[in-house]
């Protein structure tokens, strides 16, 4: 599989500045790509568009040449920068995992998910704890592409390492495509085969 952004331009509302202008990129399954760029430059906006959460104002996102599927759990999974915004506040964590069929003990153990957290609501967990559920959920069996948006910013170093170890194992074994948005050039260098600088592909005017 391949995901492609073709000439994406985006503004949040009419008559407001263009956040993205004519951005194109391609990621193949099995590829590990970093996305870096200054804060406020549109990285999160771009990954939301790529995952189908925001509709581009112009241009299109294609999965193997076709529009993203509208039904079912998406083969393109996004792990948000802010996990509390990604989880239904009225669902117990058990239901969050059930929705994607992700009850693999191996994954829960590797992510350090305590079994009694399953009976809790999102507000009863810390940001780091919630983020582990977002990662677990994103690894469901139909996933082909994984986008991680500055996932590590709210995690301590040990938890970060634990989560990345599991994600990279899954990426490797299942040949997932990975796009990681990060400020951490060292992490990007270590994990990714190539890095995209948003300043270089986004032609918006300042």
Ligand X SMILES: Nc1ncnc2c1ncn2[C@@H]1O[C@H](COP(=O)(O)OP(=O)(O)O)[C@@H](O)[C@H]1O
Positions in the binding site for ligand X (CB under 6 A) = 12, 19, 37, 39-45
Q: Which residues contact 114 (CB under 8 A, 6 or more apart)?
A: none
Q: How far is the CB of 159 from ligand X (least distance, A)?
A: 22
Which listed option, Mg ion, ligand X, none, makes contact with residue 111 (CB within 5 to 8 Å by class)? none
CA distance to 5, 6, 24, 109, 113, per residue, from 49 (Å)? 9, 11, 12, 32, 29
Q: How far is the CB of 45 from ligand X (least distance, A)?
A: 3
Give me the residue label for tokens 């952004």: 5
Of 146, 134, 31, 133, the residue nearest 77 (C-alpha): 146
Q: How far is the CB of 197 from ligand X (least distance, A)?
A: 12
Q: How far is the CB of 48 from Mg ion (least distance, A)?
A: 9
Which listed option, ligand X, Mg ion, none, makes contact with residue 138 (CB within 5 to 8 Å by class)? none
CA distance to 73, 102, 103, 114, 133, per residue, from 99 (Å)? 9, 8, 10, 19, 12
Tokens standing for residue 172: 């490797």
Nearer to ligand X, 42 or 59 (CB): 42
Q: How far is the CB of 114 from ligand X (least distance, A)?
A: 31
* Binding site residues, Mg ion, CB under 5 A: 43-44
Which residue in the shown chain puts its C-beta closest to Mg ion?
A: 44
Which listed option, Mg ion, ligand X, none, makes contact with residue 19 (CB within 5 to 8 Å by class)? ligand X
Which listed option, ligand X, Mg ion, none, makes contact with residue 41 (CB within 5 to 8 Å by class)? ligand X
**C-alpha–C-alpha distance, residues 89 and 84, integer Å:** 8
Nearer to ligand X, 17 or 142 (CB): 17
Give strand pairing partners of 181: 35, 149
């Amino acid at each position: 599989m391949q995901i492609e952004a073709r000439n994406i331009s985006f503004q949040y509302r009419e008559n407001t500045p263009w956040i993205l202008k004519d951005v194109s990129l391609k990621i193949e399954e099995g590829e590990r790509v970093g996305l870096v760029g200054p804060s406020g430059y549109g990285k999160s906006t771009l990954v939301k568009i790529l995952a189908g959460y925001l509709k581009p104002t112009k241009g299109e996102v294609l999965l193997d040449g076709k529009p993203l599927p509208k039904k079912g759990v998406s083969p393109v999974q996004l792990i948000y920068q802010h996990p509390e915004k990604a989880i239904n506040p009225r669902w117990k964590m058990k239901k969050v995992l059930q929705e994607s069929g992700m009850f693999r003990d191996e994954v829960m153990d590797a992510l350090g998910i305590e079994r009694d957290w399953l009976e809790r609501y999102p507000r009863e967990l810390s940001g780091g704890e919630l983020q582990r559920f977002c990662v677990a959920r994103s690894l469901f069996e139909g996933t082909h592409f994984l986008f991680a948006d500055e996932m590590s910013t709210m995690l301590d170093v040990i938890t970060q390492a634990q989560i990345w170890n599991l994600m990279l194992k899954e990426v490797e074994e299942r040949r997932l495509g990975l796009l990681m948005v990060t400020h951490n050039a060292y992490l990007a260098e270590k994990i990714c085969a190539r890095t995209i600088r948003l300043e270089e592909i986004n032609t918006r005017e300042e």
